[in-house]
Amino acid sequence: MPEYDAGVRAENLVKRFDGEAALDGISFEIGADELFGFIGPDGAGKTTLFRILVSLLVPDEGRADVLGYDVVSQYREIRRRVGYMPGRFSLYGDLSVEENVRFFASVFGTTIDEQYDIIAPVYSQVEPFKHRRAADLSGGMKQKLALSCALVHRPDILILDEPTTGVDAVSRGEFWDVLQELKTGGLPILVSTPYMDEASRCDRIALIQNGTILTTNTPSAIGEGYTKPLLAVRADDRFRLLQTLRTFPHAFAVFPFGEDLHYTDARPHMNPGDIVREVTNWLADAGFDDVQARPIAADVEDVFMAMMGDGEHYGVPDGQPGA
């Protein structure tokens, strides 16, 4: 179990902009040994939350502490100890890679050499380009440079706002490898992302949408919380399969998932093997002779869609179960 006393704790955080709640009563506790992810789309409230935690915004209601310090009354302590990466690239484009890191080190009265061991896992990946202007780096490299700058004052916690957004799949994987290494070295990390597939890289996650937390747990436990039978179904003509399968009388939701469609059956207690047979036969009658269907475990994205979905949103035509 995580130890909450030295991590991050939020109680009923509310923040409104022009009367609209960007954060609508958010509470959570994060241990000092966790790599914790806030997962949700743009506009969910992730940035507002992180700005409160790093003391750049004051909440309208509720309270939060980071490393045991109150985000409002003890903001100086927090600013000294937090490594923060804002969502928007905010380094100096006209300075070189090395100059950027050196600048952030000097602000905290230190040097790259003194801190090399802590920044090495990520800085070594951008160091081959240390004389290049930061503005000329690719998206993935910019984020690695930004992380180097957030680490160079040897923070006690990292708070990273969407560090992988707009970054290609390969660079994203490398970035998460670095986070894993830093976390193993004893650094607690809060990270936000809109990419659901990154959930599995976190110890625990919170699914966040419209300023509220839908659920908090380990990624696998969240998948296990999916209460309806789920199948992966595929056939060559995927688009027609999608449209056809949605008219199956027991369809609760049908969505494309890469090469497969994920089919959720509306009958919670039905045996998945029976559903496979039923669906396959029904599709054969509808003219699909190459259907492959198998029961699968839900992943975080399935759960997210189920939790955010109302009938209208959930890909089920009117008049169907669950609509």
Residues 227-256 that bind another protein (CB under 8 A): 238-239, 242, 255-256
Specify the residue, 157 or 167, whose C-beta has the smaller distance to another protein: 167
138 makes contact with another protein (CB under 8 A): yes
- Calpha distance 274→302 (Å, rounded): 21
226 makes contact with another protein (CB under 8 A): no
- Calpha distance 34→20 (Å, rounded): 31
Q: What is the DSSP string of 128-149?
A: GGTTSBGGGS-HHHHHHHHHHH
In angstroms, what is the minimal distance from the CB of 167 to another protein? 6
Specify the residue, 65 or 162, whose C-beta has the smaller distance to another protein: 162
181 makes contact with another protein (CB under 8 A): no
- Calpha distance 300→38 (Å, rounded): 12
42 makes contact with another protein (CB under 8 A): yes
Specify the residue, 166 or 321, whose C-beta has the smaller distance to another protein: 166
96 makes contact with another protein (CB under 8 A): no
304 makes contact with another protein (CB under 8 A): yes
- Assess contact for 27 and 214: CB atoms under 8 A: no
Specify the residue, 64 or 206, whose C-beta has the smaller distance to another protein: 206
Specify the residue, 267 or 313, whose C-beta has the smaller distance to another protein: 313
In angstroms, what is the minimal distance from the CB of 256 to another protein? 6
Residue from 57, 147, 167, 296 touching another protein (CB under 8 A): that is 167
- Calpha distance 93→90 (Å, rounded): 8
Which residues, in sequence order, are CB contacts of 36 under 8 Å at separation 6+? 8, 30, 188, 189, 190, 191, 202, 203, 204, 205, 206
- Calpha distance 258→237 (Å, rounded): 14
225 makes contact with another protein (CB under 8 A): no
Specify the residue, 71 or 126, whose C-beta has the smaller distance to another protein: 126
Query: Pick from 65, 84, 48: which is nearest to 7 by CA?
Result: 65
Interface region with another protein, contact rule CB under 8 A, candidates 26-34, 57-65, 194-202, 265-273: 194-202
In angstroms, what is the minimal distance from the CB of 73 to another protein? 34
144 makes contact with another protein (CB under 8 A): yes
- Calpha distance 54→156 (Å, rounded): 13
**Residues composing the chain:** 323
Which residues, in sequence order, are CB contacts of 76 under 8 Å at separation 6+? none
Interaction site with another protein (CB under 8 A): 40-43, 125-126, 128-129, 132, 136-141, 144, 165-174, 194-197, 209, 238-239, 242, 255-259, 301, 304-305, 308-309, 313-315
